[in-house]
């Protein structure tokens, strides 16, 4: 009995001392000295076998404690940072920055020379970055930051040539809607630079060269090297290791060159790593100016580390001046009649982009009535190219009917868009519609349709750089793809709502079809509406004015059901400005 009591005391002591290593050494001595193992064998129904089992468990506990100590020493805790927001100071800082910004905009638009454009751009970007960090980048910022002063309508457009901004040597992302003139603006600037023998510039239309290089997501190929491969390909140089090393050395030594990358949104659809490639290039070559273009309603906007400028649509007077200039050398009266017919109507707001204004004038010139919507403008163009103009002129240049050619164009556009493509070889395009079960024509008809869409219809345009055919402007392809969504009810639209590449197509689709049901279907399928919010709100802009408020209300209600939308009611530290 005294030995059993001693065993019990030892166990209690180990527990009270938190299983220390020293206690185990003492136990080993006790077990050996008292010959506990032999006693346990002799008295199997006694407490001694249990005592020895307890010691085994204790040894494991001590071993695990030692491992935990080692791991704890190796592990670095995530730093905990406490930030005190002094909302009064933040409020005064924002007010001062806004006041200075408005004054600088005013002075620039009045052609005053007191504003250093480069310093203005630098200060603007720093301010925007700070606000972005406060509002968007701080985790769970909605829990402790609330914006109480909503901005009033304020026109902060710069009435200067974008070339002046580009000449500042500042990295700039040119944003704008479909047909806003992003590519034309960059091309005209490049043309201006090329006319100056002292200027150095590399211009790359990303969508046309992206298909010519291998952009597989191989870990061995860095984003930066893929961008270098694009540049080499644009210069008709082989993208081998020697040339990549040479161009790296060239960019390291050259500081006055401008790199112009056109169509980031289209390249991103095929290779999302293009943004990391551009940012990495800028990190390695900070003195080289980079200009890029992209549509503005894209989810990756915050990843672009450049100051963004948005090309605004024509003002009313600029639109009328454009129409007048178009017709001044051939039919001034027609130009005046167009202006009178669109004044005060919704179509005047729709055609305020260079692309749509051009199409409006072109259609009117060919005797087509004024359309009522953007989608209708593109549909009239489709009909014109596929035979209406020939009928008007009483000639026949195609063997296939207008309806077959239109249907083929729609099927081709959807086939390209669903594959994230802007173009394809003639043989691939023929295969697309030949393999489409909803295009019920034989292979010969499919081949003829593609051939006639190329010539004489000019719907499919050959690109000498990539050796492929496309519909030209991406907006034309988006319109045709939207017609397929409207006509082919077997297509599941819901997954496209969270895809940037489909946003333009879905907006044109929304112009012809209400989409209340898509909101509910998306939420039921994905249980969270967050990834579709940008697209749904853009689509809302294309619905009739009387319908928009209800749509936004419904979208907001569904957003309110998302888990990420809720904030902690117990959070007490809320800063207001």
Q: Cβ atoms within 10 A of the Cβ of 502, count?
A: 23
> What residues does 202 pair with on adjacent strands?
259
Residue 224 inside a domain? The answer is yes
Sorted by sequence, the CB contacts under 8 Å of residue 514 that are 6+ apart come out as: 543, 547
Q: What is the pLDDT of residue 576?
A: 34
Q: Are 419 and 442 a contacting pair, CB within 8 Å?
A: no
Question: Given the DSSP bridges, would you call strands 468-470 and 461-463 parallel, antiparallel or unpaired?
Answer: antiparallel
| Angle, CA of 552, 553 and 554, to the nearest 5° | 90
Q: Which two tokens stand for residue 206?
A: 């990303």
Residue 429 inside a domain? The answer is no
Q: In what order do the strands lie in the sheet with 423-424?
A: 423-424, 468-470, 461-463
Residues 538-569, buried b or exposed e (16+ Cβ, 10 A)?
bbbebbeeeeeeebeeebeebbeeeeeeeeee
**Whole-number CA gyration radius for the chain:** 34
| Cα four-point dihedral sign 525, 528, 533, 534 | negative
Q: What is the pLDDT of residue 571?
A: 35
Query: Do 306 and 326 have their domain in common?
Result: no
Q: Which two tokens stand for residue 490?
A: 């077997």
Cα dihedral: 141, 147, 153, 157 (round 10)? -40
Q: Cβ atoms within 10 A of the Cβ of 374, count?
A: 23
User: From CA 571, how far away is CA 385, in angstroms rounded?
Assistant: 62
Closest CA to 207 of 217, 215, 218, 219: 215
The CATH number linked to 269 is: 3.40.50.300
Query: Do 232 and 274 have their domain in common?
Result: yes
Query: Do 337 and 287 have their domain in common?
Result: no
User: From CA 139, how far away is CA 128, in angstroms rounded?
Assistant: 18
For 92, phi and psi rounded to 5 degrees?
A: -65, -35
Q: Are 453 and 469 a contacting pair, CB within 8 Å?
A: no
Closest CA to 477 of 459, 496, 451: 459
Domains: count for the chain: 4
Residue 576 inside a domain? The answer is no
Q: Are 400 and 406 a contacting pair, CB within 8 Å?
A: no
Give kind and range of the element (H or E) at residue 470: strand 468-470
Residue 405 inside a domain? The answer is no
User: From CA 128, how far away is CA 480, in angstroms rounded?
Assistant: 38
Residue 156 inside a domain? The answer is no
Alpha helices in 527-574 (DSSP H): 533-540, 545-560
Q: Which two tokens stand for residue 449?
A: 């349709």
DSSP 384: I
Q: What is the pLDDT of residue 175?
A: 92
Residue 234 inside a domain? The answer is yes
Query: Do 180 and 257 have their domain in common?
Result: yes
Q: What is the pLDDT of residue 509?
A: 98
Query: Do 344 and 234 have their domain in common?
Result: no
Sorted by sequence, the CB contacts under 8 Å of residue 404 that are 6+ apart come out as: 441, 445, 449
Q: What is the pLDDT of residue 217?
A: 46
Q: Are 271 and 210 a contacting pair, CB within 8 Å?
A: yes
Query: Do 306 and 175 have their domain in common?
Result: yes
Residue 103 inside a domain? The answer is no
**Can you give the pLDDT of all 577 residues of the chain as single tens digits?**
577 777 777 777 777 776 776 777 777 777 777 787 887 787 777 887 887 888 888 888 888 888 888 888 888 777 887 777 788 888 899 889 989 998 998 888 887 778 888 888 888 888 888 887 777 766 665 666 666 666 666 666 777 888 988 998 889 999 998 899 999 999 999 999 999 988 999 999 998 888 777 655 444 567 888 899 999 999 989 888 899 999 999 999 887 899 999 999 988 888 888 999 999 999 999 999 999 999 987 777 778 888 888 898 999 999 999 999 999 988 899 999 999 999 989 899 999 999 999 999 999 998 888 999 999 999 999 999 998 777 766 788 899 999 999 999 999 999 999 999 999 999 999 999 999 999 999 999 999 999 999 999 999 999 988 899 999 999 999 999 999 999 999 999 999 999 999 999 999 999 999 999 999 999 999 989 999 999 999 999 999 999 999 999 999 999 887 655 444 433 333 333 3
Residue 510 inside a domain? The answer is yes
Residue whose entry in the numeric block shows the structure tokens 């290039």: 281
Where in the sequence is the domain holding 497, given as residue range(s)? 492-570
DSSP-derived 3-state class of residue 255: coil
């Amino acid at each position: 009995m005294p030995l059993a009591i001693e065993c019990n005391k030892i166990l209690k002591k180990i527990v009270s001392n938190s299983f220390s290593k020293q206690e185990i050494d003492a136990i080993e001595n006790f077990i050996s000295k008292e010959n506990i193992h032999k006693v346990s064998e002799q008295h199997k129904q006694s407490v001694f076998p249990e005592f020895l089992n307890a010691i085994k468990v204790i040894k494991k506990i001590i071993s695990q404690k030692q491992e935990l100590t080692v791991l704890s020493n190796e592990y670095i805790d995530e730093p905990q940072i406490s930030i005190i927001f002094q909302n009064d100071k933040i409020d005064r800082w924002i007010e001062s920055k806004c006041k200075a910004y408005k004054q600088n905009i005013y002075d620039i638009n009045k052609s005053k020379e007191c504003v250093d454009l480069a310093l203005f751009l630098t200060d603007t970007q720093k301010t925007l970055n700070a606000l972005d960090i406060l509002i968007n980048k701080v985790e769970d910022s909605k829990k402790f930051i609330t914006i109480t002063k909503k901005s009033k309508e304020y026109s902060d457009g710069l009435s200067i040539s974008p070339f002046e901004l580009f000449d500042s040597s500042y990295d700039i992302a040119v944003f704008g809607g479909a047909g806003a003139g992003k590519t034309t603006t960059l091309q005209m600037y490049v043309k201006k630079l090329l006319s100056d023998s002292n200027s150095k510039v590399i211009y790359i239309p990303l969508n046309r060269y992206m298909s010519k290089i291998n952009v597989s997501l191989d870990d061995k190929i860095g984003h930066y090297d893929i961008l270098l491969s694009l540049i080499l390909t644009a210069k008709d140089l082989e993208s081998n290791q020697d040339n990549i090393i040479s161009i790296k050395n060239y960019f390291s030594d050259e500081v006055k060159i401008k790199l112009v990358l056109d169509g980031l949104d289209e390249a991103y659809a095929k290779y999302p790593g293009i943004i990391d490639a551009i940012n990495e290039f800028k990190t390695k070559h900070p003195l080289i100016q980079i200009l890029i273009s992209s549509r503005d309603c894209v989810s990756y906007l915050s990843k672009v580390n450049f100051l963004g400028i948005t090309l605004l649509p024509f003002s009313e007077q600029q639109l009328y001046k454009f129409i007048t200039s178009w017709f001044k050398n051939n039919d001034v009266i027609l130009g005046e009649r167009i202006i009178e017919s669109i004044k005060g109507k919704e179509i005047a707001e729709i055609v305020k982009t260079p692309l749509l204004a051009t199409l409006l004038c072109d259609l009117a010139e060919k005797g087509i009535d004024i359309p009522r919507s953007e989608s209708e403008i593109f549909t009239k163009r489709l009909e014109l190219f596929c035979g209406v103009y020939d009928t008007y002129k009483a000639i026949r240049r195609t063997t296939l009917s207008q309806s077959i050619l239109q249907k083929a164009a729609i099927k081709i556009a959807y086939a390209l868009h669903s594959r994230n493509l802007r173009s394809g070889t003639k043989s691939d395009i023929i295969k697309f519609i030949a393999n489409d079960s909803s295009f019920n024509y034989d292979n010969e008809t499919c081949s003829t349709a593609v051939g006639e869409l190329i010539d004489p219809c000019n719907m499919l345009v050959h690109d000498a750089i990539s050796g492929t055919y496309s519909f030209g402007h991406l907006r034309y392809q988006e319109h045709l793809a939207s017609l397929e969504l409207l006509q082919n009810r077997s297509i599941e639209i819901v997954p496209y709502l969270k895809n940037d590449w489909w946003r333009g197509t879905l907006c044109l689709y929304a112009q012809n079809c209400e989409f209340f049901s898509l909101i509910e279907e998306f939420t039921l399928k994905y249980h969270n509406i967050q990834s579709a919010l940008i697209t749904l709100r853009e689509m809302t802009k294309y619905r009739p004015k009387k319908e928009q408020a209800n749509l936004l209300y419904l979208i907001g209600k569904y957003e309110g059901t998302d888990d990420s939308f809720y904030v902690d009611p117990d959070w007490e530290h809320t800063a207001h400005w």
